[in-house]
A = this chain, B = another copy of it.
């Protein structure tokens, strides 16, 4: 006992740092044209300095605006998920979004639905001209509590007088998304499409209850992860949904912090055509491929920020599974390794315990389209690019353990970044997952979340 307590304290003393250095200013010109937004404190969260309400509006004409979304597949979808889904089903051209943090409005019955509709309608009424069912809704925070709806409605009115399109406005909105996040997650990029400069910008939040599986509305695919992406590309609603579904699978649906799927996970993208493009992008065109690639890469960029800011996370780990029969098999193995408590504690302890990686991979073998063959499996660590020696460290080669240079393993594992590469040797398909370690701080945060 004494021995293990000594271990606890020695390990616990390595403090988890805030990741605020990952938040950087972005030139205001890099944000998509035609979006105005804000973030403010309306009173859902206790601390007056904590922003808890965001309002986002596209001013472009309705007929040039497309919206698409992916929602959690949890059976207990929260009221804002149900409401956003209904709005999107009736109107693929929704052009506004209202978001609160601090309370998830999940498992709140009819009253919760009424609250989500009230939020949506309040923003609709402030659009120019006033509209109906044009505003989607997101909420994140504690489950099973009702929203302080009066504070939120009053906050929406205040917010409407303070909408902006510069970096500070985007930053305020991103801050209003945050719960246990240690920094606002905001990124933007620019690329050319059909001779026009097109912009994508977006924000997301999430640090725990992160193992999304999200699908398009009323479909069957996993994330409390909230994400909003804006673009001034001109794209048709079906093409936008198609690109988003592809992008979400290879980004948000390929990350895990704790393996727990939320009732509220939602990614919403609004494209408003304000770039000046004249022809809307349609599925199957070269422009579509380019847009889908940019959107996928952008979603992966902001999804990875969530893992890096995972509750208590000290490590950012890429799990690459190659040589599988199908993408789904590769993704399943990568997901299982990424959620193993033993793998995640070994990463925290900087212990090259590859047996745990293997045991974890082997546990899903019987649910794969082609079972694993132990004699074909290889495992290696790919060192972080920050190290001078980035030669892969082989741990297992075709079922046979390598003699591991433990000193080198220690150096590799002491870095924040690491890639675990698993080669199955039975096919040509691959998948990537991003995960973090499981630390004392994770337990502290989640053993005492509500108080």
Enumerate chain B residues within 8 angstroms of A130, measured Cβ to Cβ.
Answer: none
Enumerate chain B residues within 8 angstroms of A18, measured Cβ to Cβ.
Answer: 1
The reply to whether B443 and A348 form a contact with Cβ atoms under 8 Å apart is yes
Which of B220, B263, B365 is within 8 Å of A359, CB to CB? B263
Task: Report if A89 contacts B (CB, 8 A).
Answer: no
Least CB distance, A320 to chain B, in whole angstroms:
19
Task: Report if A7 contacts B (CB, 8 A).
Answer: yes
Given A74-B365, A263-B359, verify A444-B440 contact (CB < 8 Å).
yes
Given A12-B8, A342-B260, A365-B74, verify A359-B143 contact (CB < 8 Å).
yes
The reply to whether B263 and A4 form a contact with Cβ atoms under 8 Å apart is no
The reply to whether B374 and A447 form a contact with Cβ atoms under 8 Å apart is no
- A143, A145, A400, A443: which has the most chain B beta carbons within 10 Å? A443
Task: Report if A108 contacts B (CB, 8 A).
Answer: yes
Enumerate chain B residues within 8 angstroms of A356, measured Cβ to Cβ.
Answer: 143, 209, 260
Task: Report if A451 contacts B (CB, 8 A).
Answer: yes
The reply to whether A363 and B444 form a contact with Cβ atoms under 8 Å apart is no
Number of interface residues of A (CB under 8 A): 82
Question: Which partner residue on chain B sits nearest A438 by CB separation?
Answer: B443
Least CB distance, A364 to chain B, in whole angstroms:
8
Task: Report if A15 contacts B (CB, 8 A).
Answer: yes
Task: State the main secondary structure of chain A at its contact with B.
Answer: loop
The reply to whether A208 and B143 form a contact with Cβ atoms under 8 Å apart is no
Enumerate chain B residues within 8 angstroms of A354, measured Cβ to Cβ.
Answer: 143-144
Bound-state Cα–Cα, A60 to B187, Å: 74
The reply to whether A401 and B440 form a contact with Cβ atoms under 8 Å apart is no
Task: Report if A99 contacts B (CB, 8 A).
Answer: no
Enumerate chain B residues within 8 angstroms of A259, measured Cβ to Cβ.
Answer: 259, 339-341
* A-B contact sample (13 more), CB < 8 A, given A5-B15, A8-B440: A1-B17, A11-B444, A11-B447, A76-B358, A144-B396, A209-B342, A259-B259, A260-B342, A261-B363, A341-B438, A346-B449, A351-B447, A351-B450
Q: List 10 A–B pairs whose Cβ atoms lie within 8 Å, in order of A's numbering.
A: A1-B17, A5-B15, A5-B444, A11-B444, A76-B359, A106-B355, A143-B353, A258-B342, A260-B340, A440-B443
Binding site for B on A (CB under 8 A): 1, 4-5, 7-9, 11-12, 15-18, 73-77, 104, 106-109, 142-145, 208-209, 211, 213, 220, 222, 258-263, 339-342, 345-346, 348-349, 351, 353-356, 358-363, 365-366, 371-374, 377, 396, 399-401, 438-451
